[in-house]
Amino acid sequence: MFRLFKKSKPVKIRSYHESTKYGVAAKDLKELLKKGCSTLKLSFSGAHVCLYSDGTEVTEEFFQTLPDHTELVLLCRDQTWSGVVFDISQLLNTDRHANDLIEAAKGLLSDEQSPKRRKILTDLLLNMEDRSELESREEDENWFKGVDARFKTKSAYMKFNCESRIRGYMKDVENTTKTIQKPRVRANFLKASKRLAEMLKTARYNGCYFDRTEKKPDRLCTQEGWFTCQGSFDQDMCKSLHSINPYGSRESRIVFSTWNLDHRIEKKRTIIPALLEALENHKATDINLNYFYCQLFTRENLKLVHIVCHKKGAHNLLCDAKMIFGQASNQNKGSRKAEKRKRSLK
Ligand SMILES: [Zn+2]
Ligand SMILES: [Zn+2]
């Protein structure tokens, strides 16, 4: 009798596997199960319903208390739902549903008004439209848009990108020469700078750091091309867990240019002045140029950092005075080995 007067409650229902939600109106749980099963083409026997948000099982009594348009999941016998968190872990398992999810996210984005949700969706799309497994220009033309035609593979371009940055550091050393007044010191500095340039050329400008086809200790990224922020100069690691794969999309490639290969001991403020000072009173041959080379151009002193982890203020780190001169070269090797040992222990 009473049932006749009960109002239908509109809810949104989806299945375990499909994220599409359907609007269904039902007076009670039994009707909801019937309608839901027929809409989602699921077997009625054993079917049950729970809250999408946290997986709470919906009983007849509970159903009556639900607000209109509550999001529910219709489950088959033996299926359970642990709520949104489970949905996110499924979402991250993108290999299986990648294309469906990209389409779904695009659909949501097309009529999303909130800037915050737009940002979340575009970031999600950016990360899911990952074409990093493609390497050549023919395979992924879009990635190469705006990249000089001589680059045929992503790795070749990324290697060049790293080289250019490091060549820029060499330019800073070379430009210092012009600012030196005393001819003798200038000649000394020029000699040192030429020697550094030779060393750098031999190491092929350390372009290997960005090249995912290189061997493990030489590249800073994974085989797939993922780079992880190494944290600001005064931190052991990045607390924000920044990461990026510039091989994945054109946009990521461009955004990667805001990532910095940052000198822990600062190049212009500290290393170059220390080199200059040493050369004021010593011949270029007395200087431990290998030490300066490592500080200026190698990962011994360079950290790849997300722009947020790139602190612009003074680092207040000094060159190691014991390492500056040639006689320290044996000690140098020893302590570098120790440094390596320290690192491999991490
Ligand atoms: Zn970071
Ligand atoms: Zn910096």
- Distance (angstroms) between ligand 2 centre and the Cα of 142 equals 31
- Strands 227-228, 243-244: pairing kind: antiparallel
Greater confidence (149 vs 241) lies with 149
In Å, what is the CA distance from 28 to each residue of 6, 50, 108, 168, 284? 9, 14, 30, 71, 89
What's the burial of 79, exposed, middle or buried (CB within 10 Å: 0-12/13-18/19+)?
middle
Could you count the other beta carbons within 10 Å of the beta carbon of residue 57? 12
Q: What pLDDT is recorded for position 123?
A: 83
Counting ligands in written order, the one closest to the CA of 238 is 1
β-bridge partners, 75 = 48
Query: Is residue 4 scored above 80 in pLDDT?
Result: no
Q: Closest by alpha carbon to 199, among 170, 231, 239? A: 170
Measured CA distances, 133 to 129, 164, 246, 256, 257 (Å) = 11, 25, 12, 18, 21
Cα–ligand 2 centroid distance for 311 (angstroms): 6
Q: How far is the CA of 302 from the centre of ligand 2 (A)?
A: 10
> Mean per-residue pLDDT for 253-262?
96
Phi and psi of 174, rounded to 5°?
A: -60, -40
Residue-wise pLDDT for 48-105, tens only, equals: 999 998 889 999 999 999 999 999 999 998 888 887 776 676 666 656 567 777 787 8
Judge whether 291 and 332 are in contact, CB under 8 Å: yes
Q: Ligand 2: distance of its center to the CA of 189 in Å?
A: 24
Query: Domain segments of the chain: what residues?
Result: 7-85, 93-128, 154-345
Q: How far apart are CA 63 and CA 126, in angstroms?
A: 39
Sign of the Cα pseudo-torsion (235, 236, 240, 245, in order)? positive
**pLDDT attached to residue 344:** 46
**Residue type, position 72, single letter:** L
Q: What is the mean pLDDT of the chain?
A: 88
Q: State in Å: Cα 241 to ligand 1 middle.
A: 6
Distance from Cα 299 to the centre of ligand 1, integer Å: 16
Integer-rounded Cα radius of gyration of the chain: 30
* Model pLDDT, residue 96: 58
Measured CA to CA, the distance from residue 306 to residue 122 in angstroms comes to 19
Q: For residue 295, what is the enclosing H or E element?
A: helix 289-297
Contacts of 45 (CB under 8 A, 6+ apart): 77
Is the pLDDT reported for residue 252 higher than 50?
yes
Could you say which ligand is closest to the alpha carbon of residue 270?
2
Q: How many CA atoms lie within 13 A of 256 on its CB side?
A: 24
- 232 Cα to the center of ligand 1, angstroms: 7
Of the options 3.10.20.10, 3.40.50.720, 3.30.1600.10, 3.30.70.20, the CATH number for the domain spanning 7-85: 3.10.20.10
Residue with tokens 């212009």: 268
Give me the pLDDT at residue 187, please: 93
Reported ipTM:
0.93
Give yes or no for residue 317 having a pLDDT over 90.
Answer: yes
